[in-house]
Amino acid sequence: MVIYVVKSGDTLYSIGREFGVTVAELERFNGFRDPNRLVVGQDVLIPVEGSIHTVESGESLYSIASQYGITLDALIKANPDIAPPYTIYPNQVINVPADTAKRTISVNGYAYPNISRSVLQETLPFLTYLAIFSYSVASDGSLNSINDDELIRLAKQGGTAPIMVVTNTEPGGGFRSEITQSVLNNMATRSTLINNIVNKALQKGYMGVDVDFEYIYPNDREAYNDFLTALSERLKANDLQLSTAIAPKISATQQGTLYEAHDYAFHGKVADKVIIMTYEWGYLYGPPMAVAPYNEVQRVLSYAVSEIPSNKILMGMPNYGYDWTLPYRNGRPAEILSINKALDRAYEVGAEIQFNSRSKAPFFEYTQNGVDHIVWFENARSTASRLQLINDFSLGGASYWTVNQLYLQNWRVVDDMFNIEKVL
């Protein structure tokens, strides 16, 4: 598969003619709703063998071969016009041969119960697990109710394992430290919660449980570990899997309520899968930047694999972007955008999509009604760059937040780079 970057004057017809592919094939493969709404700098996936790579500053044939998981010799043979000493230059286009030896990975997708059924049906072939969000815990150890029966049924029909997600969120959203404090430090309440989780998972037909407790008070760290130990034992006795979602740390001593109670080494021992939430550097109330910058994700994973068995780790992947009003003002929220909405906006305002080489993420700027904006989002190139970290660190796979919006190019990239495990 080739990731082609749209240039000024391109049309789907001219792009297809260059690669010997019809417009209809490009529309279907990319999930384009309107073939006439191309944006300069936009990615178009070409369904052909192999790919092309545009050289960035500082790259070598060796680094590019490593990025794509192929041998240096294979890359040299695919580019006979590059002679010794094999010097390459920024913006040079080189051929990357297809890699037929793909790894098999697990792919998790979080979904709210209100996900469109058509989006769900298109997404399930690319998922190992469907994590349905979420059962909220109350201070007395009880769980709320959610409308998950149909999603569980459809997941199983699609060969995807449904996972029950348990959170310390309050009604209306938002993680509450006080909830976990009450539950984790009272033995009777903790036992009640574990019974409720296991019974609900068995009653509903879930294949496992994902615990997503966030903003736990730092002094509740050991109580949280004890809770996970007890829950793990009960789940294993019932042939159910345990996964945990943890904050993106770069050291064991990282400060902050989001981080301190998440004990990487312990989660690596007790959980079957560990989902690292490697996103939200660019966030709703924060300053404009990429949601999941490549360089920051790489730092987190470098630490994570020193504490957690790499094959247990699922790297978090965002399926959204943000539109910030400029100049940035503390406390003023950005606008959350689906990736398709971001592309639509770029077209509507006549923007040109740029690609940041450090964060390996797309962005564009525009002015509307005299107000400046910047949008950071995801595309095929940012997806491919970050997914390559799965190979670099020998991870178990990826986890998407969320799959409620369909961005077909993402799944094409995943499918091109990996075999997706099916456990049912």
Per-domain residue ranges of the chain: 2-96, 104-317+395-420
Is 73's pLDDT higher than 70? Answer: yes
Average of pLDDT values for 86-101?
82
Q: Which residue has the higher pLDDT, 220 or 71?
A: 220
Side-chain-side CA neighbours of residue 55 (13 Å): 18
Concatenating the DSSP letter of every residue in 225-269 gives HHHHHHHHHHHHHTT-EEEEEE---SSTT--STTTTT--HHHHHH
pLDDT of residue 404: 98
Q: Which residue has the higher pLDDT, 192 or 5?
A: 192
Is 387's pLDDT higher than 90? Answer: yes
- Band the pLDDT of 371: cuts 50, 70, 90: very high
- Band the pLDDT of 3: cuts 50, 70, 90: confident
* Model-wide pTM > 0.85: yes
Q: Which residues contact 275 (CB under 8 A, 6 or more apart)?
A: 108, 210, 243, 244, 245, 246, 314, 316, 399
Average of pLDDT values for 188-200?
98
Average of pLDDT values for 338-347?
98
Contact indicator for 289, 359 with CB cutoff of 8 Å: yes
Is 335's pLDDT higher than 70? Answer: yes
pLDDT of residue 78: 83
- Band the pLDDT of 386: cuts 50, 70, 90: very high
pLDDT of residue 97: 85
Residue range 159-172, pLDDT digits in tens: 999 999 999 999 87
> What does CATH list as the number for 2-96?
3.10.350.10
> What residues are annotated to the active site?
214
Is 65's pLDDT higher than 70? Answer: yes
Beta bridge partners of 167: 136, 212
Q: Which residues contact 146 (CB under 8 A, 6 or more apart)?
A: 113, 132, 134, 135
CA 194 to the chain's CA centroid: 29
Is 91's pLDDT higher than 80? Answer: no
CA 345 to the chain's CA centroid: 22
CA angle 312, 317, 320 (to 5 degrees): 160
pLDDT of residue 54: 79
Q: For a pLDDT cut of 90, what percent of the chain falls above it?
A: 83
Is 100's pLDDT higher than 70? Answer: no
Side-chain-side CA neighbours of residue 353 (13 Å): 29
Q: Which residue has the higher pLDDT, 280 or 33?
A: 280
Q: Which CATH fold would you assign to the domain 104-317+395-420?
A: TIM Barrel (3.20.20)
Q: Which residue has the higher pLDDT, 217 or 52?
A: 217
Looking up tokens 């400060």, which residue turns up?
Answer: 255
Is 273's pLDDT higher than 70? Answer: yes
- Band the pLDDT of 250: cuts 50, 70, 90: very high
31 φ, ψ (degrees, to nearest 5): 70, 30
Mean pLDDT of the chain: 95
- Give the highest mean pLDDT range of 11-25, 82-96, 397-411: 397-411
* 4-18, 115-129, 239-253: range with lowest mean pLDDT: 4-18
Average of pLDDT values for 113-138?
98
